Chain A
Amino acid sequence: NAGVTQTPKFRVLKTGQSMTLLCAQDMNHEYMYWYRQDPGMGLRLIHYSVGEGTTAKGEVPDGYNVSRLKKQNFLLGLESAAPSQTSVYFCASSQGGDREFGPGTRLTVT
């Protein structure tokens, strides 16, 4: 099993540009999550999904949108990137308990 994979690994955007981060899992997990990790702030939940076709807001959802059209995929979109969105983004999946995390995407917005 590949576990949780994320695409891309690194990305640099200019302010106002848009992009989509892709997360895929092959464990048939129901729940999927997007987190951001910033120095000194711990992991913060952006959006999550409890099943195919469902999404919900987490702790810091502003400026992001998500979609879960297929059970194995969870997409995170930035419509108009801002420097405050410079961060490391982690996708995770679970069956309700511990999370399986992906390797992360390092995003820089200039």
Chain B
Amino acid sequence: EDQVTQSPEALRLQEGESSSLNCSYTVSGLRGLFWYRQDPGKGPEFLFTLYSAGEEKEKERLKATLTKKESFLHITAPKPEDSATYLCAVQAGYGGATNKLIFGTGTLLAVQP
């Protein structure tokens, strides 16, 4: 069964304290792995898509990496405005028009000044 697991469930960091969030997955035929940021009371906001093992993408203080079994979202020198829930999702399967995404339950990140 296709599955996405995120860890930790919650993470509290001091401003400037770098860390990583983990997204492990078991799917048949990965077509893409997506990272989203979700602020309280809002919809998820797209951050990155990774397609193959070894791929990396960066945006400001965030860097996403992908292996065959997991993805990491590295946060370098975080600021309080990075506080949010970070969601991981995988698109699995071959062909078809469904483009279904399987979401993890997210990591709630709190960055304290």
Give me the interface of A with B, judged by CB distance under 8 Å: 4, 31, 40-45, 48, 50, 56, 58, 90, 92, 94, 96-104
What's the A-B contact tally at a CB cutoff of 8 Å?
50
Bound complex: CA A42 to CA B89 (Å): 10
Interface residue stretch chosen among B14-22, B44-52, B53-61, B70-78? B44-52
> Which residues of chain A are within 8 angstroms of B89 by Cβ–Cβ distance?
43
Residue of B nearest to A56 (CB): B98
Count of chain B residues with a beta carbon within 8 Å of a chain A beta carbon:
22
Contact A103 to B43, CB < 8 A, known contacts A40-B105, A42-B106, A98-B49: yes
How far in angstroms is the closest Cβ of chain A from B85?
A: 10
> Which residues of chain A are within 8 angstroms of B105 by Cβ–Cβ distance?
40-42
Contact A97 to B49, CB < 8 A, known contacts A42-B105, A90-B43, A104-B42: yes
